Amino acid sequence: MKFIVLKFGGTSLVSPELRERVAGKIIAAKDEGYVPVVVVSAIGREGDPYATDTLINLVKQTYRDLPGREMDLLMSCGEIISGVIMAATLQAKGYPAVFLTGAQAGIITDKKYTEARILKVQPQNVTKFAQEGYIVVVAGFQGTTEDGEITTLGRGGSDTTAAALGVALNAAYVDIYTDVEGIMTADPRIVEEARALDVITYDEICHLAHEGAKVVHPRAVEIAMQKGIPLRVRSTFTDSPGTLVTTSGEVYKGTIDITKDRIITGITYISGIAQFKVGISPGAEGLKQQRRMFRALALAGISIDFINVLSEVILFTVKDDLAEKAVKVLENTGYVPEVIRGCAKVSAVGAGMSGVPGVIADIVEALTKDDIQILQCNDSHTTVWVLVKREEMEKAVRALHRQFKLAQ
């Protein structure tokens, strides 16, 4: 069977009209000769009656510390409601359809409630119903432990469900349907002239997603990449082809080397970051201090990022909401850090920047021209990160988008 996995995000499912559109996409895939397997998120966004955040709010108002196990039982309801409605929509159009929970679809996870990881997929139930001619609709974002406890996969987890099913079924494509035209050169909510990309490498979208582009979950990209399942990000609202995520080999295959043509593929951002600056002694004492400091932070479960170790000063960032805890940990080990809260990390990602001189110069030029102060800067072969004040984040994203002419 030639499977295709189609995943629909919450905003694609909010109204009966949109669900009709979604059904149309599913039926079109069937007409093209694919066996469609559908993955759904909960309907809508916060405020909509069955959205994940709405379910969370139901309990958070009265009891903040609900154990993860019960939290997952509550949160898993959103996708069950959404999936049953989608199956009903297909049935009403005369297409036999069944709905399966994550557990029924064989999504097996570890036991980390609210942030579980998929360990394996046992898709026998999915293939059985597909063979019988049903369109199978699966609840995204949820799974089960080996001993039958319901788990959820964290924000954006439905993308991961889709990718894992795609791999298990050896699908021709995993299509992530959402409310934008595809993977864009920047978040269209910030950069009006952002453009959808035709094609992007797994590596690039992985970096973009890790650095804040929430359009697809990075774990989903990693899973698809491992088995080379092509991923597409497309719009539910239009008929445009969307963005194909594939290997650089595929991208390079044509006569035009597109990743070399474009130095930067996209700009992304993460806010809610605090910068730490810690002075250390020079020489051997400083080395000992570093070891003690990093170990203490690790033992306290504080993950740090954007680390620059210089001879007499160490710079790093933590999430704003962990800043207070990090200060305490450092003070307990004898350091008084300088902390700048309310920062944002802006990243420029592109496989084509590797070995190209002048990228940093362009970035510095673009930001300083707009009077944006760079608090810290770092780079790898595909990404340049800059830390700026949160209030300058949007301006920085736009400045970089303009500098690298990404709208063209």
Residue 179 or 370 with smaller CB distance to Mg ion? 179
The answer to whether 161 touches 7, Cβ cutoff 8 Å, is yes
Q: Is 40 helix (H, G, I), strand (E, B) or coil?
A: strand
CA separation (Å) from 132 to 12, 36, 74? 28, 13, 32
The answer to whether 278 touches 271, Cβ cutoff 8 Å, is no
For residue 291, which amino acid is it?
A: R
Between residue 240 and residue 269, which ones bind ligand ADP under the rule CB under 6 A? 266, 268
Which window, 3-11, 279-287, 316-324, 398-406, contacts ligand ADP (CB under 6 A)?
Answer: 3-11
What b/e sequence results for 79-94 when a residue is b if at least 16 CB atoms lie within 10 Å of its CB, and e otherwise? bbbbbbbbbebbbeee
**Least Cβ distance, residue 317 to Mg ion (angstroms):** 24
**Least Cβ distance, residue 310 to ligand ADP (angstroms):** 32
- CB-based burial label for 72 (10 Å; 0-12, 13-18, 19+): buried
CA dihedral of residues 97, 89, 237, 25 (deg, nearest 10) = 30
Residue 11 or 376 with smaller CB distance to ligand ADP? 11
Q: Is 214 in the site for ligand ADP (CB under 6 A)?
A: yes
> For ligand ADP, how many residues bind (rule: CB under 6 A)?
19
**Least Cβ distance, residue 305 to Mg ion (angstroms):** 22
The answer to whether 47 touches 54, Cβ cutoff 8 Å, is yes
Instruction: Select from ligand ADP, Mg ion, none the partner in contact with residue 213, using the beta carbon and a kind-dependent cut-off of 5 to 8 Å.
Output: ligand ADP
Residue 106 or 156 with smaller CB distance to Mg ion? 156
Between residue 41 and residue 70, which ones bind ligand ADP under the rule CB under 6 A? 41
Q: Is 231 in the site for ligand ADP (CB under 6 A)?
A: no
Q: Which of 5, 10, 103, 315 binds ligand ADP (CB under 6 A)?
A: 10
Q: Is 266 in the site for Mg ion (CB under 5 A)?
A: no
Which residue in 389, 365, 359, 366 sits closest to 376, CA to CA? 389
Residue 9 or 166 with smaller CB distance to ligand ADP? 9
Determine the number of helices (DSSP H) and then strands (DSSP E) in the chain: 13, 18
Instruction: Select from ligand ADP, Mg ion, none the partner in contact with residue 183, using the beta carbon and a kind-dependent cut-off of 5 to 8 Å.
Output: ligand ADP
Half-sphere exposure for 37 (CA within 13 Å, toward CB): 35
Per-residue contact track with Mg ion, 136 to 165, x per CB under 5 A? --------------------x---------
**Least Cβ distance, residue 323 to ligand ADP (angstroms):** 25
Q: Which residue is nearest to ligand ADP (CB)?
A: 9
DSSP E strands: which ranges in 91-130? 97-100, 107-109, 118-121
Q: Is 317 in the site for ligand ADP (CB under 6 A)?
A: no
Summarize as ranges the residues that interact with Mg ion (CB under 5 A).
156
Summarize as ranges the residues that interact with ligand ADP (CB under 6 A).
9-11, 41, 156, 178-180, 183-184, 186-189, 213-215, 266, 268
